[in-house]
Homo-oligomer: A and B are copies of this chain.
Amino acid sequence: MESETKSEIIDGTNRVLCKHGYAGLTMQKIADESSMTTAAIHYHFDTKEELLNVFLDNLIERFTEQLASEATDPRERLRAFFNAVFTSSNPDANGFPVAIMELKTQAPFQGLFRERFLGLDDMMREVVADIVADGIDDGHFEETDPDEVARLVTTTINGAHVRKVALGEPLDETHHVLENTLELHLGWPSGSEVVA
């Protein structure tokens, strides 16, 4: 499939998930939200689940790209991680929590969704644990358990997404709370400037 067609379908799917939720997702609505016909969508995807697996891969891939940082200082890397998670230059940033929560609640019924979310979670925890371990090694962070900090960070991010969806609360609220908590774990105020 050409990548333009694919992005067209993926973007349409994102808009439908954000407007109508998983329960309201139909091939017809995706066609309405894109320049494709339902026949063209069916030509590329046999089922809604097949389409959503590709959609999820794409969502995770774009998110993973956002997490990539060129910084080497663990404090800068942690800051970049939080910026990628809690804010975004992507105009769809507000839609991301809605789309991802819609699919997460389908995980008990869709094994392939669950596999992808387990992979995403492993990746995120590994990124954070690496940053924390490096920061301890180079003396910028206090001695602590990197895996446990990573688990706290990912669980809190999961919570931020639910709060955005269920309560309409901005992600910033959780960013602020997490920064203050990490200061206790790492002995480093992550909201502050990094002085080399």
Contacts and interface: CB of A to CB of B under 8 A. Distances in A.
Interface of A: 18, 20-24, 98, 101-102, 104-109, 113-114, 117-118, 121, 148, 151-152, 154-163, 165-168, 173-174, 177, 180-181, 184-185
17 contacts: A21-B22, A22-B23, A23-B106, A24-B109, A101-B104, A104-B162, A104-B165, A105-B105, A114-B168, A121-B163, A152-B177, A154-B159, A155-B159, A155-B163, A156-B159, A158-B163, A161-B162
Nearest to A180: B148
Contacts of A181: 152, 181, 184-185
Nearest to A117: B166
Contacts of A167: 107, 114, 117-118, 121
Contacts of A106: 21, 23
Contacts of A184: 181, 184-185
